[in-house]
């Protein structure tokens, strides 16, 4: 079988890699054509058509700024699919792009699968019509999403569990705390993880404030989870305090050593929760983007742990509330209040139970094989 796979951003690359490995185990003759990142490429030893960093644009301002490039990539992708003639196409999250491609793929008679649903329950519910018309099988990561599709739109989906459970279950720390601080030349202090996002605009808007409060916690080292797609110089221009360091491509190692974390809203908030690390969720973007998003997004919470539990289990500081005084107070609370830390731990345990069991990648690959042979 020939599989065409499209993922965007780092998390899609990670989850895609796990599914691809399982597909390859199920189908010894599988061939792949990939839009994604290094993890997907390495998983099945296949070069990328394009790396996600060349087409992953998020936020209204960013999309408008790069609209010409986005349209060129969509046109190229359609042409490439027509030439490759895959038996199946697997879309992984990334709805702004993938839901432009899915109707075209369906029109060619290609079997279409989608792993990790777009957040249609929160905004752009009209996208459900596109999904119903162009996606043969949707694999969702959260139980309430299955309920949303099936009760509200009469569209059957498969709940496979959250893919982060697979990734974290597979993780085994390489270093003890002592080895970790030695390897990355960190001072021997307890650690606060600083996770400023995977996109340039997220880091640009949030990191300066995230690290600026570190002088109030001088007994801790604030350690930024850096990504090698950005240079060290890119991060250091936002560092103004002395007790701030950077480690690159070691997010899970960092979380396994952290006492608390400050995390830009996104997948990393759920990763932090699954590692059991008390956190403060933050998010700041351009005023225009935030204003428009606020008008169209129907959510009580932005951070994934709070959203999934439908209650604020960890603090969220969004846009105008994301400033030093607020962040300082919230971090102090999750660090030093034993009652707050106990409550967070209890809620994290309930959250993990709600997400189901490990094995999302295998269940997804098994269902793809089953549906392809029906």
| CA 347/CA 361 separation, integer angstroms | 25
**pLDDT confidence band for 65 (50 / 70 / 90):** low
In degrees rounded to 5, what are phi and psi of residue 113?
-125, 150
Closest C-alpha among 259, 273, 248, 254 to residue 175: 254
| CA 33/CA 3 separation, integer angstroms | 6
Please, what is the average pLDDT of the chain?
92
| CA 223/CA 238 separation, integer angstroms | 13
Closest C-alpha among 198, 363, 217 to residue 271: 198
Kindly list the domain boundaries of the chain, sorted by start residue: 2-161+359-372, 170-354
Beta bridge partners of 88: 3, 111
Closest C-alpha among 42, 57, 40, 45 to residue 6: 40
Q: How high is the pLDDT of residue 150?
A: 97
pLDDT of 82 over the 60 cut = yes
DSSP H or E stretch at residue 293: helix 287-296
- Name the CATH topology of 170-354: Rossmann fold (3.40.50)
Q: In this structure, how many other beta carbons lie within 10 angstroms of the beta carbon of residue 308?
A: 21
For the residues 10-39, what does the mean pLDDT come to?
95
CA within 13 Å, CB half, 129: 3
- Name the CATH topology of 2-161+359-372: Rossmann fold (3.40.50)
| CA 252/CA 122 separation, integer angstroms | 28
Q: Tokens representing 97?
A: 């792009």
Closest C-alpha among 116, 82, 97 to residue 4: 82
**pLDDT confidence band for 163 (50 / 70 / 90):** very high
**pLDDT confidence band for 319 (50 / 70 / 90):** confident
- What is the distance in angstroms between the CA of the first residue and the CA of the last residue of the chain? 14
**pLDDT confidence band for 267 (50 / 70 / 90):** confident
> What pLDDT digit, counting tens, does each position of 329-352 carry?
999 999 999 999 999 999 999 999
Give the burial class of 4: count Cβ atoms within 10 A of its Cβ; 0-12 exposed, 13-18 middle, 19 or more buried.
buried
Residue for token digits 């007790």? Answer: 243
For residues 2 and 31, is the Cβ–Cβ distance under 8 A? yes
Cα dihedral: 57, 146, 43, 258 (round 10)? 70
pLDDT of 286 over the 80 cut = no
| CA 126/CA 196 separation, integer angstroms | 31
pLDDT of 59 over the 70 cut = no
| CA 161/CA 354 separation, integer angstroms | 9
Say whether 321 sits in a helix, a strand or coil.
Answer: helix
**pLDDT confidence band for 265 (50 / 70 / 90):** very high
Strand ranges (DSSP E) for the chain? Answer: 2-7, 31-36, 48-51, 88-92, 111-115, 137-140, 158-159, 191-195, 221-226, 244-248, 258-264, 279-283, 316-318
In degrees rounded to 5, what are phi and psi of residue 222?
-85, 115
């Amino acid at each position: 079988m020939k599989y065409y796979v499209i993922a965007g951003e780092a998390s899609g690359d990670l989850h895609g890699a796990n599914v691809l490995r399982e597909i390859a185990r199920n189908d010894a003759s599988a061939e792949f054509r990939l839009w994604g990142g290094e993890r997907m490429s390495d998983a099945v030893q296949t070069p990328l058509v394009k790396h996600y960093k060349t087409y992953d644009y998020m936020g209204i301002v960013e999309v408008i700024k790069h609209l010409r490039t986005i349209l060129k990539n969509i046109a190229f992708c359609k042409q490439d699919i027509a030439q490759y003639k895959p038996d199946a196409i697997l879309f992984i999250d990334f709805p702004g792009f993938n839901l432009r491609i899915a109707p075209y793929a369906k029109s060619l008679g290609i079997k279409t699968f989608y792993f990790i649903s777009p957040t249609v329950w929160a905004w752009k519910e009209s996208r459900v019509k596109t999904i119903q018309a162009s996606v043969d099988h949707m694999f969702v990561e959260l139980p309430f999403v299955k309920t949303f599709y099936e009760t509200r739109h009469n569209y059957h989906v498969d709940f496979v569990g959250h893919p982060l459970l697979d990734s974290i279950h597979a993780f085994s720390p390489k270093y003890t705390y002592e080895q970790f601080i030695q390897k990355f030349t960190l001072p021997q202090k307890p650690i606060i993880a600083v996770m400023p996002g995977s996109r340039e605009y997220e880091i640009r808007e949030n990191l300066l404030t995230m690290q600026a409060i570190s002088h109030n916690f001088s007994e801790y080292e604030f350690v930024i989870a850096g990504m090698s797609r950005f240079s060290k110089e890119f991060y250091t221009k936002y560092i103004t305090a002395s007790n701030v360091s950077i480690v690159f491509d070691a997010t899970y190692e960092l979380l396994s050593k952290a006492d608390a974390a400050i995390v830009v809203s996104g997948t990393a908030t759920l990763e932090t929760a699954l590692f059991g690390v008390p956190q403060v969720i933050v998010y700041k973007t351009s005023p225009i983007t935030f204003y428009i998003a606020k008008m169209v997004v129907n959510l009580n919470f932005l951070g994934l742990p709070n959203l999934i539990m439908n209650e604020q289990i960890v603090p969220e500081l969004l846009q105008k509330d994301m400033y030093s005084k607020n962040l300082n107070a919230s971090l102090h609370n999750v660090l030093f209040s034993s009652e707050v830390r106990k409550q967070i731990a209890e809620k994290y345990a309930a959250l993990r139970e709600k997400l189901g069991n490990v094995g999302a990648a295998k269940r997804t690959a098994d269902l793809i094989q089953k549906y392809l042979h029906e």
